[in-house]
Structure 1
Amino acid sequence: MLSQTSNIKRALRAELRERRRNRTSTERDRATEAFTANLIALTQRSGASVVACYLSAPSEPNTRPYLNWAFENGVRTLFPITREDGLLDWAHGDGESEVQGLFGMPEPVGELLGPIAINDVDLIVVPAAAVDGAGMRLGWGRGYFDKTLGSMLKCPPVYALIYDDELLDDVPREVHDQPVDGVVTPTRILTF
């Protein structure tokens, strides 16, 4: 049986998905430029030489221009690979080859490095449906990033990539949910 919090999360995710679907291509293109500039600034400011970042799905803020910049500027990137057991494997991609992962999400083609490879990164960029002012992240409901972040011995800074209107006053929280250290939006980098 689903808890009341789970039901609230599911309804909020549906609303946020719909909002993303309704963005015009012009809005998305403009946001992509701004997301990219802010991700580059965050990476440079943090001095990160190894970053964990996901390949964005069409409805998500576009990470590809940032990933291209990272590749061209010698910033090594780890990409998440979903596993059936609920954990994430990690791989270095070639920046070109992609396959559809377990839940239809884009994933790179590359050698699997195992779940603990994430322990060697300087910065983690995660997807999110929304984040609140205290840094609580509402993911898309599978729990992969919550499990990963919750199991790390020494977690580097974690930033969620969201649109400005997805920074909410409050998001529903369950015991397993992991907060983030900040958000990157088209208009700013906010550290909690």
Structure 2
Amino acid sequence: MNKKAIRKEILKKLADLTSEEKLAKDQVIFSKVIESSHYKESENIFVFVSYNKEVDTHRIINHALQQGKKVSVPVILSIKEGMVAVSIDNLQDLKKNKYGILEPPLIDTNITAPQDIDLVLVPGAAFDGKGGRVGYGAGMYDRYLVQLRSSTKKIALGYSFQLLGQVPMEPLDVRVDGIITD
């Protein structure tokens, strides 16, 4: 199956999730994230702000902030320019961008250098057990992840039905180091 077909199939499954099912799955993933050694050992986290039916990251972000971790979230500059990591103090200051995704205001002083990040929690449509990832088609994360230190852990968050036997990978696609599912 090609990436487009995989995205279509997974987006349908996401749309079919009931709010009760999603809440239960999100709770399991939240617990696994905060109990993981990668999370516990990290001081500087870059995490996507969940959108639509993606795994809920709001609780993870709030927990990390309460733990005194530096938390950065993506700000999309443009499809061509990609994105930057911007540090936040809370979720209340975030506003919807033109894609409907919550973002903080972009100020030169709040940009986090990719080399400073210990852990990235990565979204995606589908994943496989070898670190393969199918994103949403713009290549934003693939272009950002190559800027990280080699020691930075890249962990995908997804529901169990998003974990496939194998996903197609292209030369510019970046593999993740692991996936946390329900």
Query: Is the pair's TM-score, using the shorter chain for normalization, greater than 0.5?
Result: yes
Decide which moves more: 28-37 or 112-121: 112-121
Structure 2 counterparts to residues 121-136 of structure 1, below 5 A: 121-136=117-132
Q: Which portions of structure 1, spanning 4 or more consecutive aligned residues, are displaced by more than 4 angstroms? A: 43-46, 112-116
Mapping for residues 14-163 of structure 1, pairs under 5 Å: 14-42=8-36, 46-84=40-78, 85-95=80-90, 96-109=92-105, 111-112=107-108, 117-163=113-159
Q: Which runs of 5+ in 1 are unaligned?
A: 187-192
Q: Secondary structure at the match of 1:92?
A: strand
SS at match of 1:142: coil
Which runs of 5 or more structure 2 residues have no equivalent in the other structure? Answer: none
- SS of the residue 1:151 aligns to: coil
Q: Which deviates more from structure 2 when the two are superposed, residues 108-117 or residues 40-49?
A: 108-117
The root-mean-square deviation of aligned C-alpha atoms, in Å, is 2.0
| Residues 128, 140 of structure 1: 8 Å contact kept | yes
User: How much identity, in percent, do the aligned residues show?
Assistant: 27
Distance 1:153 1:33, change over 3 A: closer
Count of residues in correspondence between the two structures: 180
SS of corresponding position for 1:170 = coil
Distance 1:140 1:149, change over 3 A: same
CA separation of 1:109 and 1:25: change in aligned 2, threshold 3 A: same
What's the TM-score once normalised by structure 2's chain length? 0.90
**Deviation readout 1:2-29 (Å, 9 max, x if unpaired):** xxx8xx2111101101100100111011
Alpha-carbon shift at residue 38 of structure 1 (Å) = 1.1
- Length-normalised TM-score, structure 1: 0.86
Does structure 2 retain, via aligned residues, the 8 Å contact 1:87–1:115? no
